[in-house]
Amino acid sequence: MKCATQTVDLWPQVRPDTQPSSYTCEPYSLGTIVYVVETPPMPSPPLPQELIDVIIDCIAGDSTHQRDSYLYSCALVTDLWMHRCIFHLHNNFIVQGGITAQQTALLRHPTFLSQIRNLVFYKGQLDCNSNPSTGNIDTVLGVTSNITHLMLNCESASNPRLSPSQLRDGIILPTLTHLTLEHVAFDHFVNFALIIHHFQALESLRLVKTYQLTFHDTKIVSNGIRSPPRLRILGLDGTQDNFTYNFGHWLAQGKYGGCLIEKFVFDLGSFNPMVLILLKYLEMSLQTIEITIDPEHPALADNVFPWIGEGAWAAFDRSFAREDFACLKEVKIKVLGSQLVSDDQASEFFPQLVQRGVAVGVELGCVMKDMWIE
């Protein structure tokens, strides 16, 4: 006699949303009928946090450009994975070449948004006509209201202009304290002033090769748009002459309103003589001057130490030693990569400052420049 085989559905009354998604087959014999019973698997225990941390630590050790993308994907697994990923991202949210699908999902996650403090935009992310999915800046700023550090870099953008219309009226960013703009253009200087007006808590501002597209901009004075009252740290590298000139007037409007710059940073390789004129607006409050030197900079790489010649150092010494800089306490030379000069050698560049009692020293910095000035 042949044995009959029959499959019995043991889940006829179970709702689809509660029925297990997969089963293991366990056949057994009952008389002459062989039944195949489908049973749900035992639930697997969650991974211990220590193992999760090890997995994410290994991913974070990836030295390729995909590292951050991997971490964004891992952050979407569960909240247990997210906290470790944010730790390795250093609370940074970096947009390069458009917002990815992982980043779009993370921007909707309250836990992720509550912990992001640093926001960085690279390349062509500033087109106000772009779709939000491609990285429109106000789309991201509209949901990341807790950020303290913001950097916009338009070096590779086909249209590097930034206009106030790209920052909606609702975007004030009351917690933003550090801002860096690199290779950003403005139709008028007043557009720059209107944008900075959104950030009244701003303490540190760094501008790299920033420029305006008009030669004159007298509206800035008549509009009376003052600089942020808490602004204390300023860095200018390779800014356009017209922009630098208007920038000085903008600072002067805020001088008596509480904006007193205490630290000024500039890069020697992209030094603009207009900076010395700008310093006249800062002399009443300036306490620290930091000169950054990158020996690999094209303007410096072919020259031997002391790079720009004794005449330039003497010009700095005469300018900084004037009595108008009554609050000046320190002049620091920050060399990137390797320390090619000692404190004693640096003091020889500024004999008048040393005679005044101003501290002159050298600091070794990272090859990669800091995104923000602290």
**Residue whose token pair is 């003091």:** 347
85: pLDDT strictly greater than 80: yes
Q: How many whole angstroms separate alpha carbon 213 and alpha carbon 286?
A: 30
Average pLDDT, the chain: 76
Contact 295, 337 (CB under 8 A): yes
Mean pLDDT of 318-340: 85
List pLDDT tens digits, range 189-247. 888 888 888 888 999 999 998 888 876 655 555 466 778 889 999 998 888 888 888 88
266: pLDDT strictly greater than 60: yes
Task: Tell me, yes or no, if the pTM score tops 0.95.
Answer: no
Dihedral through CA 183, CA 189, CA 193, CA 196, nearest 10?
Answer: -10
- Residue ranges in the chain assigned as alpha helix (H): 49-60, 67-75, 79-88, 101-106, 110-115, 137-141, 189-196, 219-223, 241-255, 274-278, 310-320, 343-349, 351-356
338: pLDDT strictly greater than 80: no
Query: What pLDDT is attached to residue 25?
Result: 45
Mean pLDDT of 141-167: 76
Tokens for 238? 């390779």
Q: Strands (DSSP E) along the chain, which ranges?
A: 4-7, 24-30, 33-39, 92-96, 118-122, 149-153, 178-182, 185-186, 204-208, 211-212, 233-237, 263-267, 288-293, 330-336, 359-365
Query: What pLDDT is attached to residue 374?
Result: 84
- CA 294, 298, 299, 305 torsion-angle sign: positive
Query: What pLDDT is attached to residue 6?
Result: 46
